[in-house]
């Protein structure tokens, strides 16, 4: 049941996000979310907390493509376990000391900040009625005092989520709005929903060097085009020449993940013990039904001087 009564007045003007797509704003406060639905039934849901995409349905709305933990906090109390959390301005645990991100929590503050819904952006890119583009904003002024203190730099983020019949595009635009230069990392921590991990392969990273976080951060070269997941996997593939990483299930292509101006990809599955140890990962054995393929810029740092802009993102295609 869609509750329209709590809609902030600033959002009223954005009601018609595309000639035919329907936009609903559900809930209030930290649990507000924006739902866009195409006339053909496909939909996307974006929680304002973290601008986290929590659901993406294709195939006329019949196929959910993203995994979301049954115990994911959707009330703004912690980062969402599932969907597409946005990682910025640091990936993983920050450098121990001596870096401007050192006082931030793991994966930074974007996934735990309340974003603004900016509405439908100007359709520069000839989106047909089969697509709808939603924009979300986060500015230094919108951070909690704690986050602002930990990273006192002036920035603007615009995150665009474009739903089309068979694909979802998520793109970040980072602008340095201050006098001082800053460095950042960025990553889209996408949790893909799959039927059976034993039948899944992640393809398209052949020849790429990766850091294996499960094996004491040692460096390896991917020698097989097909990565099978038979235990805990936590690998950072860097400087990837190929544009597309594919998730294949039971020998059939399931998802294509196409990077745009992002050179790195993390492949993660927590497997049995780690899944059990995470309080918000539920049910425990759902590691069998998810795999994270996370595109980003996480090797080294992206630097922006005053007024400069960085843009990067992904297009994910559901191939069912």
Ligand X SMILES: O=P(O)(O)OC[C@H]1O[C@H](O)[C@H](O)[C@@H](O)[C@@H]1O
The answer to whether 27 touches 3, Cβ cutoff 8 Å, is yes
- Tell me if 214 sits within 8 A of 233, measured CB to CB: yes
Using CB under 6 A as the binding rule, whether residue 282 contacts ligand X is answered as: no
Instruction: Give the footprint of ligand X on residues 253-272 (CB under 6 A).
Output: 266, 268
Residue by residue, what is the 3-state secondary structure of 20-57? Answer: CCEEEEECCHHHCEEEEECCCCCEEEEECECCEEEEEE
Q: Taking CB under 6 A as the rule, does residue 218 contact ligand X?
A: no
Does position 107 bind ligand X by CB under 6 A?
yes
Interaction between residue 92 and ligand X (CB under 6 A): yes
Q: Known catalytic residue: 42? A: no
Question: Residues for the chain: how many in total?
Answer: 320
CA 265: distance to chain centroid? 12
- Residue 139: CB atoms within 10 A of its CB come to 16
Compute the least distance from the CB of residue 136 to ligand X, in Å.
20
Q: Which residue has the tokens 């009564």?
A: 5
Q: Residue 45: what are its φ and ψ, rounded to 5°? A: -125, 130
Considering beta carbons, is residue 107 or 288 the nearer one to ligand X? 107
Q: Say which residue the tokens 């049910």 belong to.
A: 283
- Cβ closest to ligand X, residue 166 vs residue 212: 212
70 catalytic per annotation: no
User: Out of 42, 107, 189, 249, which one is annotated catalytic?
Assistant: 189
Shortest Å distance, C-beta 107 to ligand X: 5
Determine which residue in the list 63, 77, 103, 106 makes contact with ligand X, applying CB under 6 A. 106
Q: How far is Cα 265 from Cα 282, in angstroms, rounded to an integer?
A: 25
106 appears as a binding residue in the annotation: yes
Say if residue 175 carries a ligand binding annotation: no
Q: CA torsion sign, 112 to 72 to 168 to 85?
A: positive
Cβ nearer to ligand X, comparing 117 with 191: 191
Question: Least Å distance between CB 188 and ligand X?
Answer: 11
Cis link prior to 210 (omega < 30° from 0)? no
Residues 294-313 that bind ligand X (CB under 6 A): 294
Q: Which is nearer to ligand X, 143 or 236 (CB)?
A: 236
Nearer to ligand X (CB atom), residue 107 or residue 317: 107
Interacting residues with ligand X between 196 and 215 (CB under 6 A)? 213
Q: Which two tokens stand for residue 238?
A: 């860097």
Residues whose CB is less than 8 angstroms from the CB of residue 165 and which lie 6 or more positions away in sequence, other chains included: 38, 40, 42, 58, 130, 131
68 binds ligand X (CB under 6 A): no
On whether 259 is known to bind a ligand per the annotation, the reply is: no
Q: Which of 234, 249, 256, 264 is in the footprint of ligand X by CB under 6 A?
A: 234
- What are the residues binding ligand X (CB under 6 A)? 79, 92, 106-107, 213, 234, 266, 268, 292, 294
User: What residues are annotated to the active site?
Assistant: 189, 294
């Amino acid at each position: 049941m869609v509750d329209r009564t709590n809609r902030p007045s600033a959002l009223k003007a954005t009601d018609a996000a595309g000639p035919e797509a329907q936009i609903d704003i559900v809930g209030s406060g930290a649990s507000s979310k924006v739902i866009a639905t195409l006339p053909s039934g496909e939909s996307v849901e974006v929680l304002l907390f973290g601008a986290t995409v929590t659901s993406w349905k294709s195939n006329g709305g019949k196929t959910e493509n993203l995994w979301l933990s049954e115990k994911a906090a959707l009330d703004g109390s912690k980062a969402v376990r599932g969907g597409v959390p946005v990682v910025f301005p640091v990936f993983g645990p920050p450098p121990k000391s001596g870096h401007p991100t050192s006082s931030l929590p793991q994966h930074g503050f974007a996934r735990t900040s309340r974003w603004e819904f900016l509405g439908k952006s100007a359709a520069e890119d000839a989106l047909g009625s089969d697509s709808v583009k939603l924009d979300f904003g986060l500015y230094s002024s919108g951070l909690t005092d704690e986050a602002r203190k930990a990273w006192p730099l002036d920035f603007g983020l615009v995150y665009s989520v474009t739903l089309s019949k068979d694909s979802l595009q998520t793109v970040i635009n980072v602008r340095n709005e201050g006098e001082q230069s800053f460095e950042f990392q960025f990553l889209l921590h996408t949790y893909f929903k799959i039927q059976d991990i034993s039948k899944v392969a992640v393809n398209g990273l052949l020849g790429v060097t990766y850091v294996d976080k499960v094996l004491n951060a040692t460096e390896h070269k991917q020698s097989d085009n097909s990565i099978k997941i038979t235990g805990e996997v936590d690998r950072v593939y860097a400087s990837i020449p190929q544009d597309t990483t594919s998730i294949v299930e039971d020998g059939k292509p399931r998802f294509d993940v196409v990077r745009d101006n992002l050179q790195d990809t993390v492949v993660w599955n927590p497997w049995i013990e780690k899944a059990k140890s995470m309080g918000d990962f539920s049910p425990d054995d759902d590691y069998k039904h998810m795999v994270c393929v996370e595109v980003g810029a996480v090797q080294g740092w992206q630097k922006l001087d005053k007024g400069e802009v960085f843009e990067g993102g992904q297009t994910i295609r559901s191939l069912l």
